[in-house]
A = this chain, B = another copy of it.
Amino acid sequence: MNVDLSQLTEWRREFHRFPEIGWSEFWTTSRIADYLEQMGFEILLGKQIINEDFVRGRQSAVVEQGLANALAYGAKQKWLDKMDGYTGCVAVLDTGRAGKTVALRFDIDCVNVSETQNPQHIPNQLGFRSLNDGFMHACGHDAHITIGLGTALWLSQNKDKLSGKVKIVFQPAEEGVRGAAAIAASGVIDDADYFAGSHIGFCADSGTVISNPKNFLSTTKIDICYKGKPAHAGAAPHLGRNALLAAAHAVTQLHGIARHGEGMTRINVGVLKAGEGRNVIPAGAQIQLEVRGENKAINQYMADQVMQIAQGIAIGFDVDYETEIMGEAVDMNNDPELVKLVEEIALAQPEVHSTNADYAFNASEDATILGRRVQEHGGKAVYFILGADRTAGHHEAEFDFDEKQLLTGVKIYTTLVQRLLG
């Protein structure tokens, strides 16, 4: 294996062929582990990197289907055993020399999109379209895996030039901002002095690097489930405990959570399903919602209010309830020192013609949870966007990107590590 575009392209196409949705990336993780093992990394898996209490939005049916698919597609049993049901891995490179620790993060899951059948679509032309029907690497995380592996390969070949440690996080379930919390809470990167992560494409074309995206929206995704008691709506309505009515009142209260004086908030109950039949007092109701805030504290205010309302309704309607956090992301401020460094490194690449330090991200990304974890432990963090031309928007069936940028990505990460640990 050499760190060149041909190797990177090969990897990217391999992973593109078998996309796996969040928390089901068993084959993907196992394949990454295969390569990392070859490169000589220590590989952490399963509960070594996952704090089960912070696992968000992981459905057992998805996990089971993922395991079955992975085996069928050739995942090695030894990795599956170590994963113990949880996808993702962390590769550790210890130079043996005292120094700082750098954590890098690459996300590995796909989205629920059926890849286009358009014959002009490059994966169709070149024969690497998704084999996993209904799923597609339409957000470019196959690029992220690849850049992670390329960076790992270079590090394994250049470890003598470095001191300190590198931890490369291959994170599951970024879609729905579900995977980062469990990895952060495992403490696996609490010793990092530096953290870096990135996304490919977004609104930036090939040749550009956005060194300091701002306005990451903090968000929490929450499910509320009410369980009451059915009763005949004609004969004995007083014997029922009405979960649908409870849920409807919850919705009206949730949308009325007071605005926050210090910044923007959002609340959306996006899905509500309740009741089984017209003439039965409904015994069950499910609510799917999300809140957002201009920063982590404001978002937390919203999430706290949701929990309070969920409980009050349960008491008022005498129904049982459960709430589950299904995803979360926070805002993050890049450390200026690292922003400067990324800019310098990026502009040193001949194919990069410009950088942009003032760009509003206006979306959520759970790398922020990892970045802030490092910052809270005294480290520094940066998240940047690696420009790449795209054939369609992210999450669209015709999405594809300029594979040449894979190498640019690897060069930025490896130079960054060199500058920090060299």
Binding site for B on A (CB under 8 A): 217, 219, 221, 232-240, 242, 244-245, 247-249, 251-253, 255-256, 258-262, 264-282, 285, 288-290, 292, 301, 308-309, 311-318, 326, 362-364
6 smallest CB-CB distances across A and B, nearest first, come from A312-B316, A255-B256, A233-B268, A248-B251, A270-B278, A312-B315
Interfacial chain B residues near A288, Cβ < 8 Å: 275, 277-278
Expressed in whole angstroms, the Cα–Cα distance for A317 and B254 within the complex equals 11
Interfacial chain B residues near A262, Cβ < 8 Å: 238
Closest CB in chain B relative to A17 CB, distance in Å:
27
Q: Do B278 and A221 have beta carbons less than 8 Å apart?
A: yes
Q: Do A271 and B266 have beta carbons less than 8 Å apart?
A: no
Best-surrounded residue of A235, A272, A274 (most CB of chain B within 10 A): A272
Q: Do A237 and B260 have beta carbons less than 8 Å apart?
A: yes
Q: Do B278 and A289 have beta carbons less than 8 Å apart?
A: yes
Q: Do A239 and B261 have beta carbons less than 8 Å apart?
A: yes
Q: Do A260 and B238 have beta carbons less than 8 Å apart?
A: yes
Closest CB in chain B relative to A276 CB, distance in Å:
7
Closest CB in chain B relative to A252 CB, distance in Å:
5
Best-surrounded residue of A279, A308, A315 (most CB of chain B within 10 A): A279
Best-surrounded residue of A219, A236, A255, A275 (most CB of chain B within 10 A): A255
Interfacial chain B residues near A317, Cβ < 8 Å: 253, 308-309, 312
Chain B residue with Cβ nearest A265: B259
Expressed in whole angstroms, the Cα–Cα distance for A308 and B316 within the complex equals 5
Q: With contacts A261-B236, A265-B259 known, is A253 near B316, CB below 8 A? A: yes
Expressed in whole angstroms, the Cα–Cα distance for A269 and B270 within the complex equals 20
Q: Do A277 and B271 have beta carbons less than 8 Å apart?
A: yes
